[in-house]
Structure 1
Amino acid sequence: MQSDIDPRSLIGRRAFDRNGTRIGTVDEVYLDDATGAPEWAVVRTGLFGRDTFVPLAPSRVAEGGLYVPYEHALIKEAPDFGVGRHLSPGQELALYHHYGLPLPAPPANGAPSSPPGEDGADGADASGST
């Protein structure tokens, strides 16, 4: 995703799958606590408003929307963890596996590595809830 995008500007944008099919609307953006970089978006999908986590790193913002490079079916089948709180390391790991993403690199400063989210990573969202 473009690094110059303000995470708050994503909230309310329409989200689309890799084929350009609308999958929902961005409700929240989760930031990595260590870096402050946007890591996950929560997209409200479907008729009954299910919240689905989608990764931001491979996604792009264009034409006023968020384009997620995955099929609608895969996005729809993402693990459902609820929103409004930090993801646990296990939850984040499940999302990485679900989307086939490589795990984040260990810290460059030589500090001991911890599983994703163990140090609180990826839970603060840009919409103001915790």
Structure 2
Amino acid sequence: MQTDIDPRSLIGRKAFDRAGTRIGTVDEVYLDDVTGAPEWAAVRTGFFGRDAFVPLEVSSVEEEGLRVPFDRALIRQSPGFGVGRHLSPQQELQLYRHYGLPLPQPGPEPGRGPGPADTGPPANGSPTAP
């Protein structure tokens, strides 16, 4: 993903799968606790849908919204963890495995998963404000 994008600017944008089919709207962006880089987005799928977590590192921001390089079916089948809370390292590993992504290398503070953007300390767990 483009690193110069403000993570808050993604909230409310439409999200599309690899074929350009709309999958939903970005509800929250989760930042890496160590680097502060945007790592995951929670995308609200369907009218009564749930939030599906999508990886931002391999996604791209385009004029029409966020393009996620996976099929809609795979995105909708992603593990559901609820939004507004900190992702645990185990939950994050589940997401990496679900999407077939290489596991990240341990950073300077292993064992800390991403949390929602703009929530203060990682343990806060407040949802991202639009």
Coarse TM-score class (shorter-chain normalised): 0.7 to 0.9
Asked if 1:75 is matched to 2:75, the reply is yes
Q: How many Å apart are 1:10 and its aligned residue?
A: 0.3
Equivalence for 1:124? 116
| Partner Cα separation in structure 2 for residue 78 and residue 126 of structure 1 | 24
Q: State the alpha-carbon separation in 1 of the partners of residues 50 and 116 from structure 2.
A: 20
Normalized against structure 2, the TM-score is what? 0.87
Say if 1:11 and 1:127, in contact at 8 Å, map to a contact too.
Answer: no
After TM superposition, give the deviation of residue 64 of structure 1 in Å: 3.2
Q: In structure 2, what is the Cα distance between the partners aligned to 1:127 and 1:98?
A: 26
- Residues 8 and 117 in structure 2, CA contact (< 8 A), matched pair in contact too: no
Given the two structures, how large is their TM-score scaled by the length of structure 1?
A: 0.87
Equivalents in 2 of 1:17, 1:86: separation in Å? 25
Structure 1 gap ranges (5+): none
- Secondary structure of the 1:105 match is coil
Q: Check conservation: 1:58, 1:68, Cα contact below 8 A.
A: yes
- Following TM superposition, by how much is the alpha carbon of 1:126 offset from its aligned partner in structure 2, in angstroms? 4.1
**Paired residue secondary structure (1:47):** coil
Q: How many percent of aligned residue pairs carry the same amino acid?
A: 70
1: CA distance between counterparts of 2:94 and 2:74? 13
1:96 equivalent to 2:96? Answer: yes
The alpha carbon displacement at 1:127 in A equals 7.3
Residue type at the aligned position of 2:65: G
- Counterpart of 1:30 in structure 2 is 30
- 2:99 corresponds to which letter in structure 1? Y
d(CA) in 2 for partners of 1:66, 1:9: 11
Listed as ranges, the gaps of 5+ residues in structure 2 are 121-125
Question: CA, structure 1 residues 8+127, in 2 after alignment: closer, same or farther (shift >3 Å)?
Answer: farther
